[in-house]
């Protein structure tokens, strides 16, 4: 699928070397695994720790992230931003009832992820990239649309939420694969390796290329210089996994095996941020329209989320995107 002629959107980087905040993308192939629950909880915890945090609903077309913050956040959102080229992004960043947390609501009507034009996508990516804050947490759509992949790739921290169900794990691997090949596509053109890669793919049966990691080895063999650079770029792609809705010890043990498979298959680093218990309090809080973290600070789930948020709070700011 990587051979298809798609263009990686790089335009948002024009003139900028690094984002004005730490950008955290929360993605995952399957719907309903807990991306919105996790991104809203993480944003609330970072804000609670005193970081200037923006939570952005990029699940265009099915935006419902505001429900995790409880109250309706009034005012303009991404829909208006996309429709009105004169509107500045600052004008769609809304205050929330929570200290240090601001919110950008998604486009529930008029736009969905597949309907964005190239200029709209670039403008939105530039805005996210250049908005000054400590953290911008981006809640992404399910699926692996090109725009979703580009949002994911532009982030400094690439979080993938999955549940222990086989279908969710399968979708998570497909999502990783789609991310991998989209990034590869961008760098192969940059390094002049397009023909070499196409040749290798055509011969993959004979050469025994079974995984993206095998492919990278072969490129390095055929084109030592470009191949080494490509490997270097691809190794900068680090997935950070959150295993959500775990119900047993057995479920928790899946985390390390996902990490190992990911490393072996892609040859890129993959970290397990942690697992989150399945807890009825999540839907109870949603129904009460109160964030779980506010109402259930004694729960195990709270301490699991708190531990994960530390992983973000302790890193140096504004690392360059590669």
Ligand X SMILES: Nc1ncnc2c1ncn2[C@@H]1O[C@H](COP(=O)(O)OP(=O)(O)OP(=O)(O)O)[C@@H](O)[C@H]1O
- On the CB side of 218, CA atoms within 13 Å amount to 21
279 touching ligand X, by CB under 6 A:
yes
188 binds, among Mg ion, ligand X, none (CB under 5 to 8 A by kind): none
Which of the ranges 30-38, 69-77, 201-209, 274-282 carries the binding residues for Mg ion, by CB under 5 A?
Answer: 30-38
Contacts of 85 (CB under 8 A, 6+ apart): 123
32 touching ligand X, by CB under 6 A:
yes
**DSSP helix/strand/coil, 209:** coil
36 touching Mg ion, by CB under 5 A:
yes
Size of the site for ligand X (CB under 6 A): 17
List beta partners, residue 139: 26, 57
283 touching ligand X, by CB under 6 A:
yes
57 touching ligand X, by CB under 6 A:
no
Query: Which of residues 59 and 240 has its CB atom nearest to ligand X in the complex?
Result: 59
The dihedral over CA atoms of 16, 18, 24, 25, expressed in degrees to the nearest 10, equals: 40
Closest residue by Cα to residue 7 from 172, 176, 121, 111: 121
Nearest approach in angstroms of CB 206 to Mg ion is 43
Nearest approach in angstroms of CB 59 to Mg ion is 5
Residues 41 to 100: which contact Mg ion by CB under 5 A? 59
Query: Which of residues 37 and 180 has its CB atom nearest to ligand X in the complex?
Result: 37
Closest residue by Cα to residue 322 from 124, 174, 183: 183
33 touching ligand X, by CB under 6 A:
yes
278 touching ligand X, by CB under 6 A:
yes
List beta partners, residue 94: 103
275 touching ligand X, by CB under 6 A:
no
25 touching ligand X, by CB under 6 A:
no
Please give the Cα distance from 274 to 251 (Å, whole number).
Answer: 12
108 touching Mg ion, by CB under 5 A:
no
Nearest approach in angstroms of CB 143 to ligand X is 8
Please give the Cα distance from 89 to 86 (Å, whole number).
Answer: 10
54 touching ligand X, by CB under 6 A:
no
Query: Which of residues 35 and 66 has its CB atom nearest to ligand X in the complex?
Result: 35
Closest residue by Cα to residue 138 from 157, 164, 112: 157
DSSP letter string, 71-117: S---S--HHHHHH-TT--GGGG-EE-SSTTEEEE----SS--GGG--
31 touching ligand X, by CB under 6 A:
yes
Residue ranges that bind ligand X, judged by CB under 6 A: 31-37, 59, 142, 244-245, 276, 278-279, 282-283, 286
């Amino acid at each position: 699928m990587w051979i298809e002629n798609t263009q990686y959107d790089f335009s948002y980087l024009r003139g900028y070397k690094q984002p004005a905040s730490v950008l955290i993308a929360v993605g995952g192939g399957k719907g309903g695994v807990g991306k919105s629950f996790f991104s809203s909880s993480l944003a609330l915890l970072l804000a609670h720790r005193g970081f200037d945090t923006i939570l952005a609903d990029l699940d265009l077309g099915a935006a419902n992230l505001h429900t995790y913050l409880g109250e309706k956040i009034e005012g303009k959102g991404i829909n208006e931003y996309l429709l009105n080229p004169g509107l500045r992004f600052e004008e769609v960043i809304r205050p929330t009832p929570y200290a240090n947390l601001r919110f950008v609501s998604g486009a529930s009507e008029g736009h969905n992820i597949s309907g964005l034009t190239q200029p709209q996508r670039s403008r939105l990516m530039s805005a996210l990239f250049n908005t000054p804050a400590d953290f911008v947490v981006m809640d992404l759509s399910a699926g692996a649309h090109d725009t979703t992949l580009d949002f994911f790739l532009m982030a400094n921290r690439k979080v993938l939420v999955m549940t222990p169900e086989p279908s969710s794990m399968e979708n998570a691997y497909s999502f990783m694969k789609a991310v991998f090949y989209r990034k590869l596509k961008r760098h192969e053109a940059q390094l002049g390796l397009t023909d070499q890669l196409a040749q290798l793919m055509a011969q993959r049966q004979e050469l025994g290329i079974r995984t993206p990691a095998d492919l990278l080895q072969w490129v390095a063999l055929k084109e030592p210089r470009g191949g080494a650079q490509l490997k270097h770029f691809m190794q900068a792609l680090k997935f950070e996994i959150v295993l959500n809705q775990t119900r047993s010890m057995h479920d928790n043990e899946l985390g390390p095996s996902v990490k190992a498979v990911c490393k072996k298959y892609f040859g890129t680093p993959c970290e397990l941020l942690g697992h989150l218990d399945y807890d009825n309090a999540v839907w109870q809080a949603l129904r009460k329209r109160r964030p779980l973290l506010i109402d259930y600070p004694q729960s195990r789930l709270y301490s699991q989320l708190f531990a994960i948020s530390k992983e973000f709070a302790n890193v140096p700011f504004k690392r360059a995107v590669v």
